[in-house]
Amino acid sequence: MKFIHAADLHLDSPFLGLTTLPAALLTRVRQSTFTAATKIFDRAIAEHVDFVLLAGDLFDRAEQSVAAQAYLFNQFERLRQAGIPVFVSFGNHDYATDQHQTIAYPDNVQVFGADVTTKTLTLASGETVAVSGFSYPQRWVVTDPLPAFPEHAAADWHVGLLHGAVATGGTHDHYAPFTVAEMLTKRYDYWALGHIHQRQLLHQNPPILYAGNPQGRSSQETGERGAYLVTSHGRQLVPEFFPTADLLWDTATVPLTVTTLADLGTALTEWLTAHPADQSTLTQLTGKLTHPFTPEDQAAWRTTDWLSLYQRTHRSTLATAQRYLTRLTLRLPQATVAAPALDQRYWDQGAAQTFTPATVQTLFGKLAQEPALADWLATEGTPEKLRALATEQLQDLMNQEAPDVP
């Protein structure tokens, strides 16, 4: 028996954390979720797998993407022609609504409903496979779905399909919270999980694992991305990872001893030459400066888009290294804030007053009405993170020449 376990295709979802991209790269970015998914389906056809499991978040319902839907129809049809059944459970992003149920996917596609059901399949080899799963009826599923999963069926193989997160016991368990222990009691041969974009093995035997997403979409989703080809070895199912990402994400920290922008360019080129990527990689760099820039270059750094200029003038270097720099952040060595005649305790007191959720909220005001910014505030705009940023800011200020007081 052989099948493919993939999840979180997030078709036609945009890349996050980018501001500008060259047109060619932009086109590739736009296509990358499709490209990656196509690699999965190509592999399925090439390997003549018995079926394909898609563990949720195939697309983002909120995105209302025509391209994603059309793509799925096409690919499912491709698999149908290859005689490969597909099992789909929808997750928190593509949660099932009865909005468009009138248009069914090709008949090789079996979509799980809101309740846990078990679908069985008889393979060409005569083996029988039971697949149990369910789809999110709405964005959140707060209850543990596992009690609804049946015990190992009479079939030769039993596979669980689940989109969710391991229960933390906190208030944020919105995504079908489960525990591995519960899963093991079901005595399934394989648990195909989705939702977490970083692939990970929760249990070795039987395999309980997240396939991860086939294409990273932000600087947080670095490294190889792909899906699993699962093959039976005797009575055991062995997952084998295969990469699919068209574009990789990478973050790196570059130690910099430079004090001028010209030297920064040289250092960056050196780093790029020394660290070529295996495939096209969107790279987010942090430069760790040992000394501050000269005042002129500091000003130039602040006022110009130096990185864009660098990328435009170092195309071949970047092309050779297969890297595109999405961001370059410069950091000075960490030091305590030591303003003249101001004691650290005063800064701490001031910080304690300033970096409170209430203060931040008040300050943020009606920007919170903007969902994108509200999200940002919730994730990136925590007081701690903001304090860190402000600290950098202060350091930066202290490193500047004392301003001329008029």
Partner 1 sequence: MYLKTLTLFGFGQFHDRTFNLERGLNVLVGPNEAGKSTLTQFITAILFGFPTKKHPELRYEPLDGSRFGGAITFVQDATQYQVTRVDGPRGGTVTLRNLTLDLELPASQLAKLLAPVDAQLFQNVYALNEMRLGQVFQASKQDLTTHLQHVGAVGSDDWLVQAKRLDQRAEEAYKPQGRKPLLNDLLRQHQDLQAKLDKANTAYQTYWQLLQDQATAKHRQAALREQLATHRQTVTHWTQLQQQWPTFQRWQALGTAQQQPTTGFTQADATELERLQNQLTASQATAKTNQSRLKDLQAHAQLPALFQQYLKVSEQVDPLFDQVPAVTAQAQERTRLMATVQELTQRSTAIEQQVANANGQMPRPFSLATTQELKQQQADLQLANQKRRRLQQELNRLNDQYQQAQPTRQQRNPLADKQLGWLAAGLLVLVGAMFLPGTLFKLVGAALGIAVGYYGVFIVDGETPASRELQGLTADIRDVQAQLREGGQRIDALTNRIDAIGEAHGLDHLPHEQWFGAQAAIGEWERLTQQLQATHTQLTALQATLDQFQQAVTAVLPQLAGQSVTSQTTQLRQLQTTQQRLVAQNGELAGLTDRIQQDHTAVARAQQAVRTFLQTRNVADTAAFYQRYQQIQNQDNVTAQRQALATQLGTTLADLQALPDQATLDQHVTTAQQAQQTTQQQLDATTTQLATLSGQLEHLTASGTQTALRQRLANLETQMRTVTQGWLTDRLTSRWISATLVAASGDRLPRIVDQASEYYAQLTENRYTKLELTSETLRVQRADGTWLPVGQLSRGTAEQLDLAMKLAFAVVMQAQAAMPLVIDDGLVNFDARRRQAAYALLLTLSQHLQIILLTADPVAAQAAAGKYVVRLTTQEGD
Footprint on this chain of partner 1 (rule: CB under 8 A):
12-21, 26, 29-30, 63-67, 69-71, 73, 99-100, 102-103, 339-343, 345-347, 349-351, 353-355, 359-360, 363-367, 370, 372-373, 376-377, 380-381, 386-387, 389-390, 393-394, 397, 402-406
Judged by DSSP in three states, 146 sits in helix
CB of 328 to partner 1, least distance (A): 13
Q: Which residue number, 12 or 189, has a Cβ lying nearer to partner 1?
A: 12
157: left (phi over 0), alpha (psi -120 to 50) or beta: beta
CB of 351 to partner 1, least distance (A): 6
String of DSSP letters for 306-368: HHHHHHHHTHHHHHHHTEEEEEEEEEPPP-----TT--HHHHHHHHHHHSSHHHHHHHHGGGG
Q: Are 203 and 220 in contact (CB under 8 A)?
A: no
Nearest to 162 by CA among 146, 150, 143: 146
Nearest to 126 by CA among 159, 156, 85: 156
Q: Which residue number, 262 or 367, has a Cβ lying nearer to partner 1?
A: 367
Q: Are 214 and 225 in contact (CB under 8 A)?
A: yes
CB of 337 to partner 1, least distance (A): 9
CB of 343 to partner 1, least distance (A): 7
Q: Which residue number, 140 or 376, has a Cβ lying nearer to partner 1?
A: 376
CB of 213 to partner 1, least distance (A): 16
CB of 399 to partner 1, least distance (A): 12
CA distance linking residue 72 with residue 78, whole number of Å: 10
Q: Are 186 and 149 in contact (CB under 8 A)?
A: yes
Nearest to 87 by CA among 164, 182, 162, 178: 162
Q: Which residue number, 30 or 275, has a Cβ lying nearer to partner 1?
A: 30
CB of 250 to partner 1, least distance (A): 17
Q: Are 52 and 85 in contact (CB under 8 A)?
A: yes
Q: Which residue number, 75 or 232, has a Cβ lying nearer to partner 1?
A: 75
Q: Are 37 and 9 in contact (CB under 8 A)?
A: yes
CA distance linking residue 46 with residue 32, whole number of Å: 21
Q: Which residue number, 332 or 386, has a Cβ lying nearer to partner 1?
A: 386
Q: Which residue number, 13 or 232, has a Cβ lying nearer to partner 1?
A: 13
